[in-house]
Amino acid sequence: MDMIHNLMLGMSVAFSLQNLLYAFVGCMVGTLIGVLPGIGPVATIAMLLPITFHLPPTAALIMLAGIYYGAAYGGSTTSILVNLPGESSSVVTCIDGYQMARKGRAGAALSISALGSFFAGTVGTLIIVMFAEPLTRMAQKFGPSDYCSLMALGLVAAVVLASGSVLKAIAMVFLGLLFGLVGTDVNTGAQRFTFDIPELSDGIDFAPIAMGLFGIAEIVINLERKMTRSGAIKVDSLWPTREETRRAIPAALRGTALGAILGVLPGGGPTLAAFSSYTLEKKISKTPREFGKGAVEGVAAPESANNAAAQTSFIPMLTLGIPSNAVMALMVGAMIIQGIQPGPEVMTKKPDLFWGMIASMWIGNLMLVIINLPMIGMWVKLLTVPYRFLAPAILLFCCIGAYSLQNSVFHVEQVAIFGVLGYIFSRLGCEGAPFLLGLVLGPQMEEYFRRAMLLSRGDASVFVTRPISLGLLITTAVLLVLMALPSLRKAREEAFQEEEG
Amino acid sequence: MNRFLSKDFLSGLMFIAFGLGALYFGRNLAPGTTVRMGPGYVPHMLSYIMCVLGFIIALIAVVRGSEPVEVPRLRPIAMVTLGIIVFSLLFERTGMFPALVALILIASAGGTEFKLVEVLGNIVVLTILCILVFKIGLSMNITVLNGVW
C-alpha cells in the first residue's frame, strides 16, 4: 500500500506544470548533447550546476536526471545513423546498429533502441521504487563507523570497476579527498588550506571544480583534435519486422536485467552495462557470427542495459547518499548546492522531492521516446554543427554559470585553474571521476571517521568489531585482493581495451 | 622515448608534489591525538598516503615503463584559459557583453580554424541566447553593458 501511496505522491509532484517543463527541458538538453559528439552528460551537468541554484530543488534534480538518461537515448541515435557514439555508453551500439542502418534497417534499429530503452527505463524506475524504502530503513541503522566503511567500499569499488589504472585511480580518490579538506574544519573552526582567501573558508565550491575538470578540459582536448563528420544515413520506415521484434524482445529483457544489476554497483553505470550485455548476447547467441554484421540483439540488449543502469544507478545515491559514478557525484553536488544533505534522511524529510524525482524519471523516459522517434530528422541535422561553434558557447555558459553561483568572479577564476588541472590530469591519463567521488565524499567521510574514533575513545578496532562495518570492510578488502590477481587483471584490461578501441 | 617522460612517472611526481604541498601548507594544523583529532590529523594522514602512492606509481613506471606523454599543443589550453581570465577581469568592470565578445574571440582563436564571419555570427547568437537565458529567463542580476543596460 505504501508503495502505491508513494507513487501517487510522486506522480502528483511530477505532473505539476513546472516539473513537467523541467523534465522536458532536461530530456531535450540530454538528447541534444547525446547527439553531439564531444560533449557528454558529465560536462553538461557540471556546466548546468550553477543554473540549478536558481531553480526549486525538485525541478533542478528532475532536470539534471533528464539530462543523464536523455543522453543515453540521444547517443544511440548517432551511433546507429553515423557510426559515431555520442556517449561512451552507446559505443557498442555502433557495432551492430550502424550495420543495420547500412542494410536499410536504420528505422527499425532506432525504434528497437528507443522502445528497448523505454522498457528498461520503466523497469529501472520500478526497481528504484521497490528498493528505496527497505534500503533507506537499513541505512538509518548505520553508525558513524559503518558509514565510514561504506564510503570506503563505495570509493574502492568505483575505482576497481570503472577505470584504467587502479593505482592512479586510487591516488586520484585521495587527491579528491585532500581537496575536499579545504575550508573551515567543522570540529575546531581552524582554517585549512585556505591561503587567507575568504572565499575558500566555506570550502572549494563543487561546481567550478566540476566545470573546470570536465567542461573546460573536455573542450580543450576536443579543440586539439580535428573532428571529422560523415554523412548520415537516411531513415525509412520506423517499424521493425516481426522477425526483428521476435529477436529483440528476449535480448531487451536480458539487457534490462543485467543493466539493472550493474547499475546499482558502485562504479557501474550505463557504459559498463552496455558492454557486458553485448558480450553476454554474443556468448549465448546461436548465431554469434551475425554480431558485428547487424544483429538485432546487438542493438536491443546494450541499449536496454544502458538505460536500465542509468536508472538504477540512482539507488545508492538516493538511499545512502553515496554516488556510484561521476554523474551521481554531480547530482550529490546539486543537492548540496540546494542545501539538501544526500542520504537516508532525504526520503523521510523530503518525500515530495524524493518520490517526485522518481516519478519524473518514468515520465522523462516516455517523453524521450516521443522526442527521439518522430523528431529524428532534426537531431540528425544538428550533427552538422561544427565544433568550433560549440566550444565558445560551452565556455561562455561555464563562465556565466560560475559567476552566478555567488556573483563573484573568483569562481570564474577557479574554473580556469581547474580547467588547467583537468587538462594535466587527462594528459597524464589520470581520470577525473575518482577525484570527483573523493571530493564529494571527503568531508563527510572525515566527519564520520572522527566521530567514530571519538565514540570509541581512539580505538580503531571499532571499524572491525561492529558487524556492518566489518562486513563492508571485508568486501572492500576482497575487491582489492581480486584486483591484484593476475588473471582478473588481465581480463579487466582486455575489457577496457575493447572500450577504448 | 625517455622513460622518465612517461604518463605514469609524471603522474607519480604530481601526486608526490600534491602530498608534499599539503604537508607544507598544513604544517601548522595540529594533528591532535587519535581520541581528540585536531584539524591536522586527517590532512597529514592523506598527505603521507599521497606521497607513498605517488612514489609507488613513479617507481613502477620507471621499472616497467609506461605510455609516453604526448607532446601537448599549448595553443588551445593557453587560449581557453586566457579567455576565461579576461572574461573574469572584464565581467564586473564592463558588463556581460564586452566580456563575452573577448571570451569568444580568444577562445575561437584557440581552435584550428578561425573564420571571422563565423565568429561574429557566433557572438551575435550567443549574446541573444545569454540575454534570454540568464537575464530574462533566470532573471539574474547581471548587467549587459555597464551604465547602459
d(CA B8, CA A165): 9
Predicted local confidence at residue A496, as pLDDT: 54
Strand partners, B68: B6
Task: Determine the distance in angstroms separating the CA of B146 from the nearest CA of chain A, rounded to an integer.
Answer: 15
B14 contact residues in A (CB cutoff 8 A): 424, 428, 430
B126 contact residues in A (CB cutoff 8 A): 392-393, 396
A225 contact residues in B (CB cutoff 8 A): none
Element (H, E) at A184: strand A183-184
Residues in Cβ contact with A2 at an 8 Å cutoff, skipping those fewer than 6 apart: A133
d(CA A12, CA A55): 19
CA distances from B130 to A401, B6, B87 (A): 11, 42, 14
* Closest A-chain CA to B19: A175
pLDDT single digits (tens) A421-443? 999 998 888 888 888 888 888 88
Distance spanning both ends of chain A, measured CA to CA: 49
Q: What is the mean pLDDT of chain B?
A: 85
d(CA B31, CA B47): 12
Nearest to B15 among A175, A399, A409 (CB): A175
For residue A308 the three cell numbers come to 536500465
pLDDT single digits (tens) B60-71? 888 887 788 877
pLDDT, greater one: B149 or B14 = B14
| Chain B interface includes A11 (CB < 8 A) | no
Question: How buried is B145 (Cβ within 10 angstroms: 0-12 exposed, 13-18 middle, 19+ buried)?
Answer: exposed
Give the lowest-confidence range in A87-91, A410-414, B48-52, B86-90.
A87-91
Residue that the C-alpha cell 572565499 belongs to: A199
Predicted local confidence at residue A141, as pLDDT: 82
| Chain A interface includes B57 (CB < 8 A) | yes
d(CA A376, CA A396): 28
d(CA A178, CA A169): 14
Residues in Cβ contact with A406 at an 8 Å cutoff, skipping those fewer than 6 apart: A199, A205
Closest CA to A301 of A492, A497, A112, A88: A112
User: SS3 of A472, please?
Assistant: helix
Which residues 78-137 of B have a C-beta within 8 angstroms of A?
A: 80-81, 83-85, 87-89, 91-92, 96, 99-100, 103-104, 107-108, 110-113, 118-119, 122, 126, 129-130, 134
* Closest B-chain CA to A460: B34
Instruction: Choose from B42, B48, B133 for mutation: most chain A CBs within 10 A.
Output: B42
| Chain A interface includes B41 (CB < 8 A) | yes
Closest CA to A394 of A33, A31, A25: A33
Q: Between helices A91-100 and A57-82, what is the axis angle to 10°?
A: 50
Task: Determine the distance in angstroms separating the CA of B1 from the nearest CA of chain A, rounded to an integer.
Answer: 15
Which residues 237-276 of A have a C-beta within 8 angstroms of B?
A: none
Inter-chain contact B10–A428, Cβ cutoff 8 Å?
yes
| Chain B interface includes A5 (CB < 8 A) | no
B46 contact residues in A (CB cutoff 8 A): 174, 177-178, 181
| Chain A interface includes B51 (CB < 8 A) | no
Strand partners, A184: A191
Rounded to 5 degrees, what are φ and ψ at A308? -60, -40
Nearest to A428 among B14, B37, B73 (CB): B14
d(CA A414, CA A210): 10
d(CA A31, CA A29): 5
Q: At residue A492, what is the residue type?
A: R
d(CA A28, CA A364): 10
Residues in Cβ contact with A252 at an 8 Å cutoff, skipping those fewer than 6 apart: A112, A115, A116, A119, A120, A300, A301, A303, A304
Inter-chain contact B26–A175, Cβ cutoff 8 Å?
no
Closest CA to A380 of A76, A49, A3, A42: A76
A412 contact residues in B (CB cutoff 8 A): 84, 87-88, 91
Residue that the C-alpha cell 563527510 belongs to: A444
Q: Which residue stretches of chain A have pLDDT < 50?
A: 498-501
d(CA A354, CA A358): 7
Residues in Cβ contact with A23 at an 8 Å cutoff, skipping those fewer than 6 apart: A14, A62, A63, A66, A360, A363, A364, A367
d(CA B147, CA B149): 6
Task: Determine the distance in angstroms separating the CA of A248 from the nearest CA of chain B, rounded to an integer.
Answer: 41
Predicted local confidence at residue A89, as pLDDT: 76
Inter-chain contact B126–A396, Cβ cutoff 8 Å?
yes
For chain B, what are the domain ranges?
Answer: 3-64, 74-137
Inter-chain contact A419–B104, Cβ cutoff 8 Å?
no
Nearest to A193 among B26, B49, B122 (CB): B26
Beta carbons of A255 and A120 less than 8 angstroms apart: yes
Beta carbons of A62 and A19 less than 8 angstroms apart: yes
Q: What is the mean pLDDT of chain A?
A: 82
* A349 CB neighbour count, 10 Å cutoff: 12
Task: Determine the distance in angstroms separating the CA of A258 from the nearest CA of chain B, rounded to an integer.
Answer: 34
Predicted local confidence at residue A495, as pLDDT: 56
Predicted local confidence at residue A423, as pLDDT: 92
A384 contact residues in B (CB cutoff 8 A): none
CA distances from A70 to A82, A367, A391, B21, B122 (A): 19, 9, 21, 41, 26
B10 contact residues in A (CB cutoff 8 A): 428
Instruction: Choose from B49, B77, B118 for mutation: most chain A CBs within 10 A.
Output: B77
A420 contact residues in B (CB cutoff 8 A): 77, 81
Task: Determine the distance in angstroms separating the CA of A403 from the nearest CA of chain B, rounded to an integer.
Answer: 8
CA dihedral sign, ordered A225, A74, A211, A164: negative
| Chain A interface includes B48 (CB < 8 A) | no
Beta carbons of A432 and A40 less than 8 angstroms apart: no
| Chain B interface includes A391 (CB < 8 A) | yes
Inter-chain contact A428–B72, Cβ cutoff 8 Å?
no
Task: Determine the distance in angstroms separating the CA of A189 from the nearest CA of chain B, rounded to an integer.
Answer: 8
Residues in Cβ contact with A84 at an 8 Å cutoff, skipping those fewer than 6 apart: A37, A78, A94, A229, A230, A383
